């Protein structure tokens, strides 16, 4: 808050988030942390399959999900809200997955996150919470990119099928993702 003088009221420079929207953002924050766990588990599974490039790609994605959670945390905090991280669900376990299974699981989770962000956007509009639009616009664009990227990888895995050399080439390519591509 900014005080003009002792005799005046404070000028509030932030638009305080409503309790309803705070709760919805907290749910999204929890989902972003859950997404990180999903990607960590997928990295573990890829590593077990000796697909070290894919494992590295999944680890980068896991790190990026933490960045996403932090963006939402910063938004709630900047609007004088109280962040409460909820309970995290354990990621799905795999008995004997294929690379395709791993990326299909990633795609399914990205769709879940996209739907949650769309629902958050709808709730913000219904509540007249226009201050949330910039961050939600950013995340809407981000989710389009996330789903498109994973969908392309799935398509390429389907193209190579059971060709081990093709899968190893993809593994090598995915492992080339530089660490700095994870958003700051």
In order along its 184 residues, the chain shows pLDDT tens digits of 444 455 555 554 558 999 999 999 999 999 999 999 999 999 999 999 999 999 999 999 999 999 999 999 999 999 999 999 999 988 888 889 999 999 999 999 999 999 999 999 999 999 999 999 999 999 999 999 999 999 999 999 999 998 999 999 999 999 998 765 555 4
Q: Write down the pLDDT at residue 14.
A: 59
- What integer pLDDT is reported at residue 1 of this predicted model? 45
Per DSSP, 106 falls in state H
Helix locations, the chain, DSSP H: 19-48, 52-78, 99-127, 133-160, 164-175
Q: What is the pLDDT of residue 2?
A: 46
pTM of the entire structure?
A: 0.87
Q: What is the pLDDT of residue 7?
A: 56
Which residues, other chains included, contact 134 with Cβ-Cβ below 8 Å and sequence gap of 6+?
A: none
Contact 104, 147 (CB under 8 A): no
d(CA 4, CA 184): 36
What is the C-alpha radius of gyration for the chain, rounded to an integer number of angstroms?
20
Euclidean distance between CA atoms 107 and 115, whole angstroms: 12
pLDDT at residue number 182: 53
pLDDT recorded at residue 136 = 97
Q: Residue 83, class by beta-carbon neighbours within 10 Å (0-12 exposed, 13-18 middle, 19+ buried)?
A: middle
The predicted pLDDT at position 153 comes to 97
């Amino acid at each position: 808050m900014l005080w003009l003088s002792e005799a005046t009221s404070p000028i509030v420079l932030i638009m305080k988030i409503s309790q309803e929207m705070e709760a919805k953002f907290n749910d999204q924050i929890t989902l972003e942390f859950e997404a990180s766990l999903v990607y960590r588990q997928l990295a573990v599974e890829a590593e077990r399959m000796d697909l070290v490039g894919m494992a590295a790609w999944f680890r980068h994605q896991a790190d990026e999900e933490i960045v996403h959670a932090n963006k939402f945390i910063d938004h709630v905090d900047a609007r004088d809200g109280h962040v409460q991280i909820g309970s995290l669900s354990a990621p799905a376990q795999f008995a004997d997955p294929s690379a395709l299974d791993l990326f299909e699981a990633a795609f399914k989770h990205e769709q879940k996150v996209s739907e949650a962000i769309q629902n958050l956007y709808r709730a913000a509009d219904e509540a007249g919470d226009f201050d949330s639009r910039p961050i939600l616009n950013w995340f809407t664009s981000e989710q389009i990119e996330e789903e498109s990227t994973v969908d392309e990888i799935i398509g390429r895995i389907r193209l190579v099928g059971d060709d081990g050399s093709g899968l190893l080439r993809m593994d090598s390519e995915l492992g080339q993702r530089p660490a700095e591509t994870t958003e700051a």
